[in-house]
Amino acid sequence: MIKKIVVAVGLLFSLSFFVGCGNKSLVEQGKAAIKQGNYEEATAIFKAASEEESKDKEEAQSLYDLTYNYVISIKAYNEFKLDVALDSLKKLEENKNEELMKEDITSLKEEISKDKSALDDFYSSMDKVNDLESEGKISEARDLLNKSLKNISYLGENVKELIASGNSKLKSLDEKLDKEELGKKDKNKEEKTDFSEKNNKELANKALETVKNLGVVKKDQYLELKSEDIYDLGDNSYGFIVNKYYYPEGKPEPAFICQYLVDKESWKVKEVKEGITKELN
């Protein structure tokens, strides 16, 4: 966890602040403040030390730059200005006193980088969501958006506007999906009616013959229509399902091998075996 910053009261420390510190130099006092995690206090002390004409002047300036940029980074992170926070941390990389705060700097950088990565991924995903929607892949767009919103939810108030915008988009995609599903049902109903008039039995037999002509039936195997009904085969395709069976040695009952999906328009055949789909023609 990042140590809490103790906010210094007033502009800069007055001379009375240092009363009671004995012979301890300002630089030593500042380093002590760093150890306690009081970075704003340390910054003010190093600032005062850097303005003194002493042998510690150069070191005080370096330490001031160190704590000042760390404090700026913390404040920027608290305001969710991630790029500003990272830029301030980057200035610490070449500071010769970085080791004094190495653990806290590394921890802060990891937290900021994690949040920035999550945010960058979200924006990238939103571009992909828009592309999928434009391509008519509404379901994929909806799933990606939902996942992306969950990935940034831990950022809470910092991204409330993004989440509100994303939820609005999610609602819009859900409405499109509902209309799409209704359209599919209507189309399926119309297709079934049309093909009933054309004699489903004749078409079903054609589907069976189409599969047979592919030469997929071996010895002791046979094909059988699942039924003469027209099925939704997925990917806006409708047609018939043909099952393939074989007779296991020594057993009276046939065993299922695979299915063939036959599109009623193109008469393209897909084999579905153990969850794997393969086009055959």
pLDDT in tens, the chain (281 residues): 344 443 333 334 433 444 344 447 899 999 999 999 999 999 999 999 999 888 889 999 999 999 999 999 999 999 999 999 999 999 998 899 999 999 999 999 999 999 999 999 999 999 999 999 999 999 999 999 999 999 999 999 999 999 999 999 999 999 999 988 887 776 766 666 565 656 788 999 999 999 999 999 998 899 999 999 999 998 889 999 999 999 888 888 899 999 999 999 999 999 999 989 999 99
Burial class (CB in 10 A: 0-12, 13-18, 19+), 39: buried
pLDDT at position 191: 65
Query: At CA 173, angle to CA 170 and CA 174, rounded to 5?
Result: 85
| Integer Cα distance of 86 and 70 in angstroms | 10
Among candidate residues 2, 67, 76, the one with its CA nearest the CA of residue 29: 67
CA distances from 204 to 59, 254, 267 (A): 89, 22, 11
Question: Which sign does the torsion angle of CA 222, 226, 230, 233 carry?
Answer: negative
pLDDT at position 12: 40
pLDDT at position 198: 62
Tokens read off for 235: 């990917």
pLDDT at position 193: 59
Tokens read off for 2: 């990042």
| Integer Cα distance of 71 and 83 in angstroms | 15
Give yes or no for a contact between 263 and 281, defined as CB atoms under 8 angstroms apart. no
| Integer Cα distance of 201 and 199 in angstroms | 5
| Integer Cα distance of 137 and 144 in angstroms | 11
Burial class (CB in 10 A: 0-12, 13-18, 19+), 92: buried
